[in-house]
Amino acid sequence: MTPAEDAQLALLLEVSGTPKPGNVDRERDFTDLRFDHFLAGAVGAGPGLRAAERGAPVGEAFEQAVAGMSQQEGGNTQFGALLLLVPLVRAAADGDLSPEGVARVVEDTTVEDAANFYRAFDHADVFVDDPPEDAEELDARRGSEAVPAVESRGVTLYDVMELGAESDDVAAEWTGEFERTFWAADRLAELSGSVPASALGARVYLELLAREPDTLVAKQHGAKTAESVRVRAQEALEGGPEVVEAFAESLVEDGVNPGTTADLTAAGLFVALARGEVSV
């Protein structure tokens, strides 16, 4: 399979994993966001992922992927995952799918890449935190309206990720050589062969959640809730399938969605698939 195809498969395997506490999976839908929306989003992202594989600029490929992803009725399904996958696909296509290889891809991004990143917000309603006080003009919620500020300040897409790295796990991956992504890929490889790939994803999702608080939960519900979810994830891992199921149901009922952890899981699945360490 090509890197773009591996990326689409990673998105499909990620949403197919169950139970995946707090997220849409094969057995759980949200009121306005369903399993089939994620399937459609993965298909729609294909042209942008193939553009990244062909060597298109990261920002251009990302906006195209988000535009395609958003062509379903559920809205934002995989924005964060695509922000991880596009540079990973590019690194794989360049023949260097490694922490150093993807670091080179993101560090080489340009002002135009940043502009296209902001334009991507015009396609999907994405929950984001407030920008730093000295960067209000760069508030991602402004979408394409922020492009003049991006251009006047001369900030690259990597610079934009640096602004959010302390409070957002996806941005932290960009500035930290995709450390958690490659940890997840290594863990998937260790577990591979014992259970189906989608079940592997659900297991590693829970392990990621138990290791560090999810930053989307922290933004939406506060740091205390995010830490509580982390502790409960660890307890679920130790308690077995029934405890995991109860944990999954409770997060959905409470409206707590560790979506950033799902993004990291999709990225890890891609790396493991592309390296031939997980197969379907």
Please tell me the distance from the alpha carbon of residue 44 to that of residue 69, in angstroms, as a whole number. 5
- Residue 65: predicted pLDDT: 98
Question: What pLDDT is attached to residue 131?
Answer: 77
Q: Where are the domains of the chain?
A: 3-274
Condensed to tens digits (0 to 9), the pLDDT of residues 190-222 reads 998 877 877 899 999 999 999 999 999 999 999
For residues 184 and 208, the answer to whether their CB atoms sit within 8 Å is yes
Residue 267, C-beta contacts closer than 8 angstroms, at least 6 positions apart? 10, 81, 84, 85, 88, 173, 178, 181, 184
Do 264 and 172 contact (CB within 8 A), yes or no? no
Place of tokens 């109860």: 246
Per-residue pLDDT, 196: 80
pLDDT digits (tens, 9 = 90+) for 256-267: 999 999 999 999
76 to 12, 174, 182, 247, 274: CA distances (angstroms)? 15, 21, 25, 24, 25
DSSP for 147-164, please give it. HHHHHHHT--HHHHHHHH
CA atoms of 128 and 143, how far apart (whole Å): 11
Give me the percent of the chain exceeding a pLDDT of 90.
Answer: 81
With vertex at residue 229, the alpha carbon angle to CA 181 and CA 72, rounded to the nearest 5 degrees, is 60
| Least confident window among 7-16, 112-121, 124-133 | 124-133
Cα–Cα dist 160/128, whole Å: 13
Distances (CA, A) of 1 to 4, 76, 87, 141, 279: 8, 26, 18, 36, 11
Q: What is the pLDDT of residues 75-111, one digit of tens each?
A: 899 999 999 999 999 999 999 999 999 999 999 999 9
For domain 3-274, say whether CATH 3.40.50.1000 is its number: no
Quote the tokens at residue 90: 């590019």
According to DSSP, residue 25 is labeled B
Q: What angle do CA 87, 92, 94 make, to 5 degrees?
A: 95
pLDDT band of 25, cuts 50, 70, 90: confident
Q: What distance lies between CA 157 and its chain's CA centroid?
A: 16
Confidence of residue 242 (pLDDT cuts 50, 70, 90): very high
Residue from 35, 71, 69 nearest 49 by CA:
69
Query: Given pLDDT bands bounded at 50, 70 and 90, which one contains residue 235?
Result: very high
Q: What is the arithmetic mean of pLDDT over 13-38?
A: 90
Q: Which two tokens stand for residue 51?
A: 């553009």
CA 115 to chain centre: 20
